[in-house]
């Protein structure tokens, strides 16, 4: 059987009957501060950038344009127009 010893995080006088409450409060405050700092760092790291906003805007515009184009094609097909004649109708002079 192997015994291993883990060193204490506190000094002897910090865990005595009259001082343990103070030690616990101090540790809780330290944990809360660490948590606050980590949450703030995560919040700052996850904020969108202008570049990301631009990418999202371009993606949305391209998607909307493609959908509009497809809907126009479907409308033309349903109206009975021949596909051959579209080239003349959509050509740029």
Distance CA 74, CA 77 (A): 5
Burial class (CB in 10 A: 0-12, 13-18, 19+), 87: exposed
Q: Using one digit for the tens of pLDDT, what is the confidence trace for 57-89?
A: 999 999 999 999 889 888 878 887 776 666 665
pTM: 0.48
The more confident residue out of 7 and 35 is 35
Q: Using one digit for the tens of pLDDT, what is the confidence trace for 31-57?
A: 999 999 999 999 998 888 899 999 999
Is residue 7 classed as helix, strand or coil in its secondary structure?
Answer: coil
What is the structure's pLDDT at 15?
A: 79
């Amino acid at each position: 059987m192997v015994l291993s010893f883990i060193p204490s995080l506190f000094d002897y006088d910090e865990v005595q009957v009259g001082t343990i409450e103070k030690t616990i409060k101090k540790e809780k405050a330290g944990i809360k501060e660490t948590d606050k700092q980590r949450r703030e760092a995560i919040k700052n790291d996850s904020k969108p950038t202008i570049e990301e906003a631009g990418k999202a805007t371009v993606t949305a515009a391209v998607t909307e344009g493609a959908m509009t184009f497809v809907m126009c094609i479907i409308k033309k097909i349903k109206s009975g127009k021949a596909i051959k004649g579209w080239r003349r109708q959509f050509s740029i002079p």
